[in-house]
A and B are shown apart, each in its own frame.
Chain A
Amino acid sequence: MNEEKLNYLEAIFLIVIVMITHIILEFPNVIIKDCGTSSFINIIFITILVSLFFIFICKLFSPFGGNNILAISEYVGGKKLKKCTSIIYCSYLLFISSVVIRNFCENLKIVYFPNANLLMLIGAFILTAVIVNKFSSGSIVKANTLLVPLILLTMIVVFVFSIKQASISRFLPILGNGLNKTFLKGILNIYSFGGLIYMYLIISDLKNIQDLKKVGLTSIIFSASYLLLSVSSLLTLFPFLVKGSNVLSVYLSTRTIRLGKFLPRIDTIFMFIWIFNFLLYLSIIIYYVKKIATETFSVKNKSSLLYFTAFIIFVASLLVQNSLQTYFLENTVYKYFALLVVFIYSPAILIIGYVKKNKELKKAKVEI
Chain B
Amino acid sequence: MNLFKKFASNVSSDNTNQYLFELGTLNNISDNSPSDKLKNQQVYSNIDVNLEYVNSRFNTLINSDVIIREFTINVKAKEFKAFIIYIDGMVDKNSINDFILKPLMLKNRANQYTGDEVISQAVANNIMVRKIKKFNVIDYVSDNLLPQNDVKKVNSFDKIAQDVSSGNCILFIDTVDFCFDIDVKKFDTRSIAEPKNEPVIMGSQEAFVENLRTNTSMIRRNLCNENLVIESLTVGKSDKCQCAVCYIKNVANSDLVAEVKYRLNNLDVEYLNGIGELKELIKDDMYSSIPEIMPTERLDTSINYILQGRVCVLYNGSPYALIMPVTLLDFLSTPEDYNLNHVFSNLLKVIRGISYFITLLLPGLYIAITTYHGELIPTELLFSIVSSRSTVPFMVIVEILLMEISFEIIREAGLRVPSPLGSTVGIVGALVLGQAAVEADIVSPILIIIIAITGITSFSIPDYTFSFHLRASRFIYILLGFFAGFLGIGIGLFIYLVNLCSLKSFGISYLSPYAPLSKVNNASYFVKPAWKRENRDEFLKPKEIKEQNHISMKWRK
Residues of A within 8 A of B (CB): 4, 7, 9-10, 108, 112-113, 121, 124-125, 128, 131-132, 135-136, 138-140, 142-143, 145-147, 261-266, 268-269, 271-272, 275-276, 279-280, 283
Contact = CB atoms under 8 A, between A and B. Distances in A.
Contact of B494 (A112, A128, A264, A271): A128
Contacts of A135: 498-499, 501-502
Interface of B: 372-373, 375-379, 484-491, 493-495, 497-499, 501-502, 509, 511, 514-517
A143 B376 CA distance: 27
Contacts of B515: 142-143, 145-146
A138 B493 CA distance: 18
Contact of A276 (B378, B490, B502): B490
A200 B226 CA distance: 54
Most buried by A among B373, B376, B494, B509: B494
B373 A112 contact: yes
A201 B489 CA distance: 33
B490 A145 contact: no
16 contacts: A113-B372, A124-B484, A124-B491, A135-B501, A138-B502, A139-B501, A143-B501, A143-B515, A147-B497, A261-B378, A264-B376, A264-B379, A268-B486, A272-B486, A272-B493, A279-B491
A268 B382 CA distance: 15
Contact of B498 (A112, A140, A263): A140
B536 to A, nearest CB: 21
A279 B498 CA distance: 11
A278 to B, nearest CB: 10
B87 to A, nearest CB: 50
A275 B487 contact: yes
Given A139-B502, A275-B494, A264 B372 contact: no
B517 A9 contact: yes
A142 B486 contact: no
Nearest to A121: B487
Contacts of A138: 501-502
Contacts of A136: 502
**Which secondary structure dominates chain A's binding surface?**
helix
A142 B485 contact: no
B76 to A, nearest CB: 70
Contacts of A132: 494-495, 498
Contacts of A143: 494, 497-498, 501, 515
A279 B491 CA distance: 8
Contact of A264 (B378, B487, B493, B511): B378
Contact of A113 (B375, B487, B499, B502): B487
B509 A112 contact: no
Given A7-B517, A276-B490, A131 B372 contact: no
A10 B377 CA distance: 37
Contacts of A10: 516
Given A135-B502, A142-B516, A279-B490, 7 more contacts: A4-B516, A112-B373, A113-B487, A131-B495, A132-B495, A264-B378, A279-B494
Contacts of B373: 112, 268
Nearest to B503: A139
A128 B491 contact: yes
B493 A263 contact: no
B389 to A, nearest CB: 20
B512 to A, nearest CB: 10
B61 to A, nearest CB: 57
A25 B509 CA distance: 33
A7 B486 contact: no
Nearest to B509: A142
Contacts of A265: 375-376
Contacts of A124: 484, 487-488, 491
Nearest to B490: A275
Given A276-B494, A279-B494, A113 B485 contact: yes
B372 A112 contact: yes
Contacts of A263: 376-377
Nearest to B491: A128
A135 B501 CA distance: 9
B366 to A, nearest CB: 14
A272 B495 contact: no
Contacts of B497: 143, 146-147
A144 B423 CA distance: 46
A112 B486 contact: yes
Nearest to B499: A135
Contact of B501 (A7, A125, A146): A146
Nearest to A136: B502
A145 B494 contact: no
Nearest to A275: B490
B292 to A, nearest CB: 15
A263 B381 CA distance: 11
A261 B376 CA distance: 10
Contacts of A280: 494
B501 A112 contact: no
Contacts of A266: 376
A108 B490 CA distance: 13
A124 B493 CA distance: 14
Contacts of A268: 373, 375-376, 486
Contacts of B516: 4, 7, 10, 142, 145
A113 B486 CA distance: 10
Contacts of A146: 497, 501, 511, 514-515
B487 A142 contact: no
Nearest to A262: B378
Contacts of B514: 146
B74 to A, nearest CB: 70
A181 to B, nearest CB: 38
A271 B498 contact: no
Nearest to A9: B517
Given A262-B378, A268-B373, A275 B486 contact: yes
- Top 9 A-B residue pairs of the complex, sorted by shortest distance between their CB atoms: A275-B490, A139-B502, A142-B501, A139-B501, A142-B515, A135-B502, A265-B375, A268-B376, A143-B498
Nearest to B484: A124
A269 B515 CA distance: 24
A121 B373 CA distance: 16
A215 to B, nearest CB: 15
B244 to A, nearest CB: 33
Which of A135, A142, A145, A283: most chain B CB closer than 10 A? Answer: A142
